[in-house]
Amino acid sequence: MQAVVTGASSGIGEALARRLAAEGCDLVLVARRRDRLEALATELRALGRSAEVVAADLASDEGWRAVLEVAPAPDVLVNNAGLGVFGPTTGSDPVAQLRMVQVNCEALTALTLAVLPRLVERGSGVVVNMASIAAFQPVPFYAVYGASKAFVLSLSEALDQELLGTGVRVVAVCPGPVPTEFQAVAGSPDARQTHGLALRTSEQVADATWRAIRRHRRVVIPAPLHRWMWFLQRLVPRRWVAAITGRSMRKHID
């Protein structure tokens, strides 16, 4: 079984690659940092698994096309690569925001739509799209990031419904804060400041993702606390949710 994992050089992607290899998958590892990918590939090969490296920038068409050249129809496609830009959206760098949309939305959509017809023809396969709990509500000071993850969630749920009966599934994983390099790059609050009931490690997210691959679950929220929050926020006006989220985020603005 072949699995493609984008954003595999660190964090959740790296943990997912290890988990998939442990479950018997051969890996195609995708990210920009070739040195980290090669180190991970060497580790996985020592476990008896095949591991190919694709050093590519998914913000470009050439990047996601390079992935398809190596793995046009993987058994499992994990669209994990993602960027964040935290802070006041007005006055932020539009180039950085656009690059985030290109990685979080455009590359994910391109890879998903390219492989799905082949998987349907074969009658099997799983696409895992990494969304976020940010997908469930407006997120002031993380506005474009939250919107990009709402896109990922909506797309994934719609595609999974369309594909019923084909043998192909689409899973949206919606983690909350996870201590990785993501926060430092995005300029967002350190995940370790999060309450313990909401905090999950990369390995825990990888475990929850594997369970969803094995037993069909359309949407996965790894932390139980976030599942309750998702349920409760649907009972109050959306503007209240935006206001509460905005106050929480504003505390972290310098």
pTM of the model: 0.87
Res 24: pLDDT: 93
CA triple 129-20-6, angle to 5 deg = 40
Per-residue pLDDT of 153-187, as tens digits, reads: 999 999 999 999 999 999 999 998 775 555 555 45
Q: Is the pLDDT at 190 greater than 80, yes or no?
A: no
Per-residue pLDDT of 93-130, as tens digits, reads: 899 999 999 999 999 999 999 999 999 999 999 999 99
CB contact at 8 A, 136 and 235: no
Is 142 annotated in the active site? no
Q: Is the pLDDT at 80 greater than 60, yes or no?
A: yes
CA triple 145-70-49, angle to 5 deg = 95
Q: Is the pLDDT at 192 greater than 50, yes or no?
A: no
Q: Is the pLDDT at 233 greater than 70, yes or no?
A: no
- What stretch of H or E contains 30? strand 26-31
Check 141, 145, 151, 182 and give the catalytic one: 145
Sketch the domain layout of the chain as residue ranges.
Answer: 2-250
Average pLDDT over residues 194-208: 77
Q: How far does Cα 94 stand from its chain's mean position?
A: 22
Amino acid at position 197, single letter: L
Q: In this structure, what token pair is assigned to residue 200?
A: 């999950």
Average pLDDT over residues 195-202: 68
Q: Which CATH superfamily is domain 2-250 in?
A: NAD(P)-binding Rossmann-like Domain (3.40.50.720)
Q: In this structure, what token pair is assigned to residue 221?
A: 């929220």
